[in-house]
């Protein structure tokens, strides 16, 4: 690459500690193969770019200026190895996957001979392997989410007679009380709604004898650093479960625990998915497990590596991901069990969540 161009999305805060607001105004880190990195930033946002002096130069643009002039002038000084000349007309540039389409299209208009790839081709493999501080943040986030799950499982949140939205609100407030900076989501799906994996919690009143899928997480930061994510799912049942629900849950739990145990350095991401899928399939519920087994997690809720059939990438120390099989019976019930797992230096799985894995009955 002649330059990495980082705008909106997680790559910029991951690399610099600065998170751009999702404004229409352009923010772009221009990280050239040669030359100092420059952050092109709206003048009104410049005060938020703190303590970056030794990392990059800040180039603030005023409301009547065109920031693309600044970006293109920086790019015209790139090496352009193997490109069409020294004017910057050629060159290979990697741009944030989450940059606005308008930004990329304007750059393509100005640099018609340039070739573009997604920044994730450069950043994802590096981001997927967490360093010590990142692991510390993920562990703290996981422990905080565990404490919220424990409150749910202890029956301290009223379920029967309450709406999904109310329960979602309680879980969200607890995530903040336990140290998260932001709530990213608090899915609560009860009864037939539990069969929709990403159900939007609504006005449905939770009844007796229903499964309630609670999947929640937030962003947690240590010492004001950029935040890392938690993500946990626990399914509870409001009263004695039916034989069918109990049988499904046993298959779910053994699939989840076998998949966690199988997640070791050197095995492929798809192998972990296969382990979970085989156990649920052998129990006769294979058709009801409708999503991949897991996703990487870090500064973003979903990132590489994905535990999905077709991903032959090998797991390695520092990888962090969810293991979250589910069983969903349309119109009736659903269940999911999710922990975040890290591959340790010894190559073994280290679960970051330890809240009760069995089917907990909450009779209130
Ligand atoms: Zn999800
Ligand atoms: Zn989740
Ligand atoms: Zn997840």
Using only C-alpha atoms, the chain has a radius of gyration, in whole angstroms, of 23
Looking at the CA of 197, name the nearest ligand.
1
By DSSP bridging, strand 232-237 and strand 211-220 are: antiparallel
Q: Ligand 3 center to residue 216 CA distance, Å?
A: 9
pLDDT in tens, 239-248: 999 999 999 9
Looking at the CA of 216, name the nearest ligand.
2
pLDDT in tens, 307-364: 999 999 999 999 999 999 999 999 999 999 999 999 999 999 999 999 999 999 999 9
Distances (CA, A) of 233 to 42, 150, 194, 345: 39, 12, 12, 26
Q: Ligand 3 center to residue 98 CA distance, Å?
A: 20
Q: Ligand 2 center to residue 30 CA distance, Å?
A: 34
Q: Ligand 3 center to residue 339 CA distance, Å?
A: 8
Looking at the CA of 297, name the nearest ligand.
3
Q: Ligand 3 center to residue 296 CA distance, Å?
A: 8
| pLDDT over 50 (residue 85) | no
pLDDT in tens, 260-312: 999 999 999 999 999 999 999 999 999 999 999 999 999 999 999 999 999 99
Q: Ligand 1 center to residue 198 CA distance, Å?
A: 6
Q: What is the spatial distance between Cα 159 and Cα 164, in angstroms, rounded to a whole number?
A: 8
Looking at the CA of 145, name the nearest ligand.
2
Tell me what pLDDT residue 84 has.
43
Q: What is the spatial distance between Cα 326 and Cα 235, in angstroms, rounded to a whole number?
A: 10
Choose the weakest-confidence range: 104-108, 211-215, 222-226, 261-265.
222-226
Tell me what pLDDT residue 55 has.
87
Q: Ligand 2 center to residue 280 CA distance, Å?
A: 19
pLDDT in tens, 15-71: 998 989 899 999 999 999 988 999 999 999 999 887 666 889 999 999 999 999 999
In the chain, what percentage of residues exceed pLDDT 70? Answer: 96
Query: What is the average pLDDT score of the chain?
Result: 94
pLDDT in tens, 147-198: 999 999 999 999 999 999 999 999 999 999 999 999 999 999 999 999 999 9
Q: Ligand 3 center to residue 295 CA distance, Å?
A: 6
| Number of other CB atoms surrounding residue 50 within 10 Å | 10
Choose the weakest-confidence range: 77-86, 214-223, 267-276.
77-86
pTM: 0.93
Tell me what pLDDT residue 224 has.
77
Looking at the CA of 187, name the nearest ligand.
2
Q: What is the spatial distance between Cα 142 and Cα 222, in angstroms, rounded to a whole number?
A: 13
Q: b vs e for 260-276, b when ≥16 Cβ sit within 10 Å of the residue's Cβ?
A: bebbbbebebbbbbbbb
In the chain, what percentage of residues exceed pLDDT 90? Answer: 90
Tell me what pLDDT residue 52 has.
66
Q: Ligand 3 center to residue 71 CA distance, Å?
A: 37
Q: Ligand 1 center to residue 60 CA distance, Å?
A: 38
Looking at the CA of 217, name the nearest ligand.
2
Domains of the chain, CATH where assigned: 3-126 (3.40.350.10), 128-361 (3.90.230.10)
Q: Ligand 3 center to residue 337 CA distance, Å?
A: 10
Q: Ligand 3 center to residue 324 CA distance, Å?
A: 7
Looking at the CA of 232, name the nearest ligand.
2
Q: Ligand 3 center to residue 305 CA distance, Å?
A: 12
| pLDDT over 50 (residue 82) | no
Q: Ligand 1 center to residue 359 CA distance, Å?
A: 20
């Amino acid at each position: 690459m002649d330059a990495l161009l980082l705008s909106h999305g997680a790559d910029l805060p991951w690399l610099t500690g600065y998170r751009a607001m999702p404004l229409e105004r352009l923010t772009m880190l221009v990280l050239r193969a040669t030359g100092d990195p420059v952050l092109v930033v709206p003048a009104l946002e410049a005060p938020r770019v703190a303590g970056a002096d030794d990392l990059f130069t800040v180039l603030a643009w005023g409301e009547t200026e065109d920031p693309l002039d600044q970006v293109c002038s920086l790019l015209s000084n790139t090496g352009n190895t193997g490109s069409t000349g020294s004017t910057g007309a050629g060159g290979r540039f990697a741009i944030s996957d989450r940059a606005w389409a308008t930004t990329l299209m304007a750059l393509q208009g100005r640099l018609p001979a340039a070739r573009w790839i997604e920044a994730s081709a450069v950043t994802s493999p590096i981001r997927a392997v967490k360093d010590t501080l990142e692991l510390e943040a993920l562990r703290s986030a996981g422990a905080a989410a565990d404490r919220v799950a424990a409150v749910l499982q202890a029956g301290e949140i009223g379920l029967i007679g309450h709406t999904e939205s109310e329960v979602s609100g309680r879980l969200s407030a607890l995530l903040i009380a336990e140290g998260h900076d932001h709530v990213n989501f608090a899915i609560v799906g009860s009864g037939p709604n539990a069969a929709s994996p990403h159900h939007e919690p609504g006005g449905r009143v939770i009844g007796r004898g229903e499964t309630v899928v609670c999947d929640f997480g937030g962003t947690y930061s240590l010492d004001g650093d950029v935040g890392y994510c938690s993500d946990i799912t626990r399914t509870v049942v409001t009263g004695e479960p039916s034989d069918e629900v109990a049988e499904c849950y046993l298959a779910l739990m053994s699939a989840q625990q076998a998949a966690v145990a199988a997640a070791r350095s050197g095995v492929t991401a798809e192998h972990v998915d296969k382990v979970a899928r085989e156990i649920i399939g052998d129990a006769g519920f294979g058709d009801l497990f409708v999503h991949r087994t897991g996703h990487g997690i870090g500064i973003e809720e979903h990132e590489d590596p994905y535990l999905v059939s077709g991903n032959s990438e090998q797991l390695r120390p520092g990888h962090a991901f969810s293991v979250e099989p589910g069983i969903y019976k349309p119109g009736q019930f659903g269940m999911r069990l999710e922990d975040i797992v890290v591959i340790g230096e010894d190559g073994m799985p280290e679960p970051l969540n330890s809240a009760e894995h069995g089917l907990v009955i909450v009779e209130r």
